[in-house]
Structure 1
Amino acid sequence: AAACARILEGGPVQILVNNAGVHDDAVLPGMRAEQWHKVIDVSLNGFFRVTQPLLLPMMRTRWGRILNISSVAAIAGNRGQVNYAAAKGALNSATKALSLEVASRGVTVNAIAPGIIASPMADAVFDPAIVNQMVPVKRAGTPQEVAALAAFLASDEAAYITGQVISINGGMI
């Protein structure tokens, strides 16, 4: 709350990217309540804690873009990630519902659902042979490809796109 208040001292936020997320993987029968709550708290409650205080000032300007970074796991599921899939799936639903609330005020709300994106974390988890097998384009995506989609959705050219969950996953699903 204090961070959002400080940000608003500079004026309304026009483009908000909710990119928080953590993994704490375990199959559900062996998942501790702490693992469930930690993942839900960061991915879903974090969206609320940041978006809610920044939203009214954005709406008053009659222009804004909210981008929620989801995951292919929210769409297709993933073993050992029931908590993560649930959090990101709820974020997808929140994206759709919020888009209906703010569309008439010139604010769009969309989610980006990346698949395997090259990064130190993904590289440690996904062997290149597995990526080749899982992803029809035979490679991991790049952060630049996800950023290009985000830049488009944040632009004036995307003013008619709202309430969407856009997958960027090389054809995985």
Structure 2
Amino acid sequence: MILPENAKSIVPSDNSAVIEQTAANDTNDHKDIDVTVSDNGINLATIFEPYFRPDENTIVCGALNNEKVTALAAAGVELVLNLQPDDELSFDERAAVERAGMHYEQLPISGTQDLKQLKILAFDNMLRQYHGKKIAMHCGSGNRVGAAMALRAGWLRGRKMDTAMERGRSHGLTKLAEEVHNRLLVPR
């Protein structure tokens, strides 16, 4: 295969081919374009905003709709993990996800009041059940997903503060960063 000049080939552990190509023209603040065989040729970055891809099997995005659920299913996602409470949903997400042939889990995190160790333990349990599977996690913006990932890394995995915070940022942590930082300061 011949790659474009601004692309690089990566071979992940599952031996599927991945090609990363940086947009040649950044006048519209485009992110890197990831075209992956494991996404069945679907460029999810053009469908989701916000969109985070911390690793090949993990997608973090904002709120879903029927079109986005269909795109995730076509891209080979096996689990949709929703951190939004029901009052934030605009449609029957569980039914749409299950109709599309994916598993659905919901762990409502409304805000800082829900960033407690019991919620993070439940979050960790869900991720462990689907370890190695392609998953999409979402909330309204990815911020609560990032917060949960940072707290999981710090509280449950014993990662240092910088490592836990970076893990959170790679999964969408933004506005909750100071709160997460303060919570990580308290030993669990």
- Normalised by the length of structure 2, the TM-score is 0.27
Give the number of the structure whose residues are more often helix, by fraction.
Answer: 1
Give the number of the structure whose residues are more often strand, by fraction.
Answer: 2
Which protein has greater RCO, CA pairs closer than 8 Å, 6+ apart?
1
